[in-house]
Amino acid sequence: MTTKNAFIGRQPVLNRNQQLIGYELLFRPTAVADAAGPTAILEADTQVLVNTLNHMGTSWLVGNKLAFINVGEEMLTSDFLELLPPRRIILEIPPDIPLSAELQSRVRHLRSMGFSIALDKFRFEAPSAAFLEHASYVKLDVQDTPANDFQMCAARLRSFPVSRIAERVETREQFHRCHDLGLDGFQGFYFARPETLSAKVINATFANTLTLLNLLRQDADIRALEDVLKRDVALSFKLLRYVNSAAAGLNTSITSFAHAVTVLGYKKLYRWLTLLLITADDGDAVPPALQKTVVTRGRLMELLGQGKGLSPETCDNLFITGMFSLLNVLFDMPMDAVIAHMHLPETIKAALLGGDSDYTPYLRLARACEELSLAEVPELCTELGLNSERFNLAHTSALAWVEGLGL
């Protein structure tokens, strides 16, 4: 399998006391690029969005800080924005965006959802000034604004309930001047240049993504959706990482596909899948042989758990453990790095990392079944209290189920 990387730029945004409050996330086409390059605005906005949601995740990119994301007119009116966790996201509007009744209504709706609005490179003469009543943050460009105009604009903004952030601050002199003017925040090379973060990308197959979209259109039963998710390791990995990130604040991690679908809802899941579909490259999909291996592991472990009378939640966790057991191979990186920012139960993490866990014997048995000799299988069955008849039934059932998926 060929893997590719996703890239995103990240520059700190500081408060008046130079404490970190958030990051501006920036489109980067390569690891060495220091700007977006000749990329269409919508494409850049979309790539930042998909990298934030699916390839990297908000937990890794910004932690518990705010994320400033640039949005042009097309992205501002897109339903894709509603996939983001609103309380953590600042939508940054460019200065040349024109006011319209539609945009006015859209911004009001986004604010009612919990998003905050920032006005980039602000000038009172710019078209974006019409959105000032909706803004929580205003960014003033130190480099492109004459000193007198900058001072007058900063003073005039005092009468508005906004945080004023000086951007593109590159020297100590500029910082002190902005600080003396009473600005509330700072961003620029003087504090830190944008760093480019990268993440390996694996994509779900077009066929499975389309199947899920069609099932959602038909308002299909959750179990039908779950069946599709169980056959695609990339799709299930992305969904669980996304839903645990977007559902920040829940008391428990979400590891069941059915629970994930319930939490998201059909409408939001449909939007998420559409975003996956339009940004995916099927050439980077998981190889069928590897897909078959992990799905077989997951199904066997699930069936063994069911045979022992374990709870549905535990059986779901066993399936996830088996399905995610080759993520290190898929991403070509250590397992601990792959799952570091996933909200998985400790029992799953320990098993995936080769430690002691209630799930470890099941995973060892599933792996042993892939060896031609099956030498370790009897001992591992004994450890789990399984007789040969029960094990053989589970094993053949798992193989038959996977064959039925057509992988």
pLDDT tens digits, 137-151: 999 999 989 999 999
The amino acid that residue 162 corresponds to is V
Whether the per-residue pLDDT at 109 is higher than 90: the answer is yes
Average pLDDT, the chain: 83
- Interval 217-234: pLDDT, tens: 889 999 999 988 988 888
Instruction: Give the whole-number percent of the chain exceeding pLDDT 70.
Output: 82
Q: What is the pLDDT of residue 173?
A: 93
Phi, psi angle pair for 222, to nearest 5° = -55, -35
* Reported confidence tier of residue 52, pLDDT bands at 50, 70, 90: low
Who wins on pLDDT, 335 or 406? 335
Who wins on pLDDT, 56 or 304? 304
CATH superfamily of 202-405: Hypothetical protein af1432 (1.10.3210.10)
Q: What is the pLDDT of residue 119?
A: 96
Whether the per-residue pLDDT at 248 is higher than 80: the answer is no
Residue with the two structure tokens 């779950």 = 226
Q: Dihedral angle at the C-alpha atoms of 198, 199, 202, 208, nearest 10 degrees?
A: -90
Distance, CA of 202 to CA of 234 (rounded, Å): 6
Whether the per-residue pLDDT at 196 is higher than 70: the answer is no
Who wins on pLDDT, 107 or 372? 107
* Reported confidence tier of residue 156, pLDDT bands at 50, 70, 90: very high
Q: What is the pLDDT of residue 33?
A: 46
- Cα four-point dihedral sign 1, 6, 229, 350: positive
Whether the per-residue pLDDT at 405 is higher than 80: the answer is no
The ranges of the chain annotated as CATH 3.20.20.450 are: 4-199
State the average pLDDT over residues 385-389: 87
Q: What is the pLDDT of residue 247?
A: 47
The amino acid that residue 189 corresponds to is F
Instruction: Give the whole-number percent of the chain exceeding pLDDT 90.
Output: 33
Least reliable range by pLDDT among 53-62, 272-281, 310-319, 385-394:
53-62
Distance, CA of 168 to CA of 187 (rounded, Å): 6
Q: What is the pLDDT of residue 364?
A: 93
State the average pLDDT over residues 232-238: 87
Q: What is the pLDDT of residue 343?
A: 75
State the average pLDDT over residues 113-129: 94
Q: Tally Cβ neighbours within 10 Å of residue 336.
A: 12
- Domain 4-199 in CATH 3.20.20.450: yes
State the average pLDDT over residues 374-396: 88
DSSP three-state, residue 123:
coil
Q: What is the pLDDT of residue 113?
A: 92
Whether the per-residue pLDDT at 396 is higher than 80: the answer is yes
The amino acid that residue 12 corresponds to is P
Phi, psi angle pair for 139, to nearest 5° = -105, 130
Least reliable range by pLDDT among 60-64, 103-107, 132-136:
60-64
Who wins on pLDDT, 17 or 374? 17
Distance, CA of 355 to CA of 351 (rounded, Å): 5
Q: What is the pLDDT of residue 237?
A: 86
Q: What is the pLDDT of residue 249?
A: 46
Q: What is the pLDDT of residue 347?
A: 93
Least reliable range by pLDDT among 44-48, 90-94, 161-165, 238-242:
44-48
Whether the per-residue pLDDT at 79 is higher than 60: the answer is yes
Q: What is the pLDDT of residue 209?
A: 84
Q: What is the pLDDT of residue 2?
A: 41
Distance, CA of 37 to CA of 35 (rounded, Å): 5
Who wins on pLDDT, 332 or 353? 353
Distance, CA of 294 to CA of 319 (rounded, Å): 9
